[in-house]
């Protein structure tokens, strides 16, 4: 298949496909001649991945690049999933805002929940975030962490069991990223509803 067909199949403009090629998100097709290239179904699934990552998950080109690189390098599944989590849930190095992470909230949580005591991106991000909150004057008590983590423990248990593992690495990243993002947003929206409901309950009680 050549560029035009690739464009028609995915619904992504030829100009955009060229852009993704330039940006290194989409590997070059098999160059038949100087002015002819052949693309495979891999390119189709890659384009679908890029599109979903942009339009559903809202990632930038710069965030997508290392993810697809992992796929192209044939990185192990666990590594890929860790990278996806890092990116989708905003576990960036940016979160270690001023460098001084005073709290070790992660320690407290893994003890409370009896989770394995291994360092991870999620744990570092948690520490950094709690540190940020405290620096902004929003207190985070151990009690709060206990309540939150207890609730999320149940959710994570359920989530992890639902993770299938497709053959195609593009598919793997797509389902993992989309799933994580959508579940994260779902949790946020349910939290909003819960808060609103509790607020209503409280205000009607007062009235």
Partner DNA sequence: AGAGTTGGATAGTGCTTCTATCCTAGGCCT
Partner DNA sequence: AGGCCTAGGATAGAAGCACTATCCAACTCT
Binding residues for a second copy (CB under 8 A): 56, 78, 81-82, 85, 89-91, 106, 109-110, 113, 115-116, 118, 120-123, 125-126, 129-130, 132-133, 136, 138, 140, 144-145, 147-160, 178-179, 182-204
CB nearer to DNA: give 35 or 204.
35
CA distances from 94 to 38, 82, 86, 98 (A): 40, 17, 12, 9
Question: From the CB of 79, what's the least distance to a second copy, in Å?
Answer: 12
CA distances from 92 to 43, 122, 174 (A): 28, 9, 20
Question: From the CB of 19, what's the least distance to a second copy, in Å?
Answer: 24
Q: Which does 75 bind (CB under 5 to 8 A by kind): DNA, a second copy, none?
A: none
CB nearer to DNA: give 22 or 205.
22
CB nearer to DNA: give 32 or 191.
32
Max CA distance (Å), the chain? 78
Tell me the backbone φ, ψ of residue 90, rounded to 5 degrees: 65, 40
- Euclidean distance between CA atoms 47 and 132, whole angstroms: 37
Question: From the CB of 47, what's the least distance to DNA, in Å?
Answer: 11
The per-residue DSSP string of 106-145 comes to HHHHHHHHT------HHHHHHHHHHHHHHHTT----HHHH
Q: Which does 164 bind (CB under 5 to 8 A by kind): a second copy, DNA, none?
A: none
* Contacts to DNA by CB under 7 A: 2-4, 13-16, 18-19, 21-22, 28-29, 31-37, 54, 60-62
């Amino acid at each position: 298949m050549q560029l035009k067909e690739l464009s028609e199949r995915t619904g992504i403009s030829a100009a955009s496909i060229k852009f993704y090629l330039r940006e290194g998100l989409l590997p070059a097709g098999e160059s038949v001649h100087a002015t002819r290239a052949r693309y495979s179904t891999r390119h189709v699934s890659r384009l679908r991945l890029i599109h979903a990552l942009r339009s559903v998950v809202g990632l930038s080109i710069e965030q997508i690049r290392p993810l697809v690189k992992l796929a192209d390098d044939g990185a192990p599944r666990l590594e890929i999933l860790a990278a996806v989590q890092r990116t989708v849930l905003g576990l960036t190095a940016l979160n270690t805002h001023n460098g001084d992470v005073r709290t070790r909230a992660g320690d407290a949580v893994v003890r409370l929940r009896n989770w394995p005591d291994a360092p991870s991106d999620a744990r570092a991000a948690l520490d950094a975030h709690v540190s940020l909150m405290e620096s902004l004057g929003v207190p985070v008590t151990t009690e709060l962490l206990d309540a939150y983590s207890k609730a999320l423990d149940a959710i994570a248990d359920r989530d992890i069991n639902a993770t299938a593992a497709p053959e195609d690495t593009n598919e793997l990243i797509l389902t993992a990223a989309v799933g994580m993002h959508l579940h994260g947003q779902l949790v946020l929206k349910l939290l909003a509803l819960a808060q609103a409901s509790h607020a209503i309950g409280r205000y009607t009680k007062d009235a």
